[in-house]
């Protein structure tokens, strides 16, 4: 059982986490939800299309203009409070690696801290414990936040992913983070080249076999683009194919830009796996 905010999710219940970037320079939407009005509209649309989690980020993952903790908080804290007011039952996640920001957004009503940089700030897990928030434990290959991998090598990439994420998860439990609020994430593209991310996907069952809920953040990423030789805006089909494979291998939470399309893929895979009844069964019955 995964418990986040007021929501509980069963073991075979796929969960969509919709991305809302409060940045002017995001790699995918180029700042489309930087201002409050379009960002709130994005939340409304995502919830209507089936997102259970809204993931709010105040700093883009890649290199760029420096964003201080104060500026990151300015971009996210008030927005978290407004989303909390408008959507009391939605799970609010904040994508941050800084404990100062984590504390501020939890005060504003956030339910989950999405630490995409693999515990680079060890105090972030302490914040999650103190506020009863959930925590995403990600493999980022030990790189510094907002840097790209350079000639990264692993003797066994999945062994490293498991070592890091399970270590972070167990440390979080020891600090007092609720076990049923912790997810592990292989960290596609983070500290990895394309072959590493493909192997992590192919071997995702090794993560799901641990019993921890697995979150995958696949949406329009570089490993999809390089695999198919597609620019950012033409990676949706590759993303959805990777989503289907990840769902078949047991991932539970999907951090995405395209909510409606992801919902259909996850519903189809769940029905093939026998975890969801078809929405209609007319064929051959008349």
Instruction: List residues with catalytic annotation.
Output: 221, 255
> Do residues 43 and 20 lie in contact, with contact meaning Cβ atoms separated by under 8 Å?
yes
Strand bridging mode 7-9 / 2-4: antiparallel
> Do residues 25 and 64 lie in contact, with contact meaning Cβ atoms separated by under 8 Å?
yes
DSSP 87-102: -TTSEEEEE---HHHH
At 278, list the tokens.
């078809």
d(CA 241, CA 58): 28
At 216, list the tokens.
């995958």
DSSP 129-179: HHHT-EEEEE--TTPPTT----S---SSHHHHHHHHHHHHHHHHHHHT--G
């Amino acid at each position: 059982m995964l418990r986040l905010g007021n929501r509980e999710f069963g073991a075979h219940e796929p969960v969509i986490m919709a991305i809302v970037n409060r940045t002017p320079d995001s790699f995918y939407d180029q700042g489309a939800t930087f201002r409050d009005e379009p960002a709130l509209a994005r939340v409304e649309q995502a919830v209507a299309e089936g997102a259970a989690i809204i993931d709010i980020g105040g700093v883009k993952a890649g290199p760029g203009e420096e964003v201080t903790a104060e500026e990151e908080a300015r971009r996210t804290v008030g927005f978290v409070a407004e989303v909390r007011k408008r959507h009391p039952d939605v799970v609010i996640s904040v994508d941050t690696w800084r404990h100062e920001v984590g504390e501020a957004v939890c005060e504003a009503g956030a339910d989950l801290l999405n630490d995409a940089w693999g515990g680079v700030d060890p105090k972030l897990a302490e914040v999650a414990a103190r506020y009863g928030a959930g925590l995403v434990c990600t493999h980022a290959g030990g790189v510094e936040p907002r840097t790209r991998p350079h000639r990264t090598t692993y003797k066994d990439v999945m062994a490293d992913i498991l070592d890091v994420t399970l270590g972070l998860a167990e440390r979080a439990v020891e600090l007092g983070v609720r076990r049923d609020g912790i997810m592990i994430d292989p960290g596609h593209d983070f500290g990895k080249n394309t072959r590493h991310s493909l192997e992590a996907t192919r071997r995702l069952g090794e993560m799901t076999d641990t019993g921890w809920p697995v979150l995958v953040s696949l949406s329009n990423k570089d490993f999809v683009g390089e695999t198919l030789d597609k620019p950012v805006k033409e990676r949706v089909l590759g993303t959805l194919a990777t989503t289907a494979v990840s769902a078949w291998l047991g991932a539970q939470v999907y951090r995405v830009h395209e909510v409606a399309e992801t919902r259909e893929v996850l519903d189809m895979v769940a029905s093939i796996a026998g975890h969801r009844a078809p929405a209609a069964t007319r064929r051959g019955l008349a």
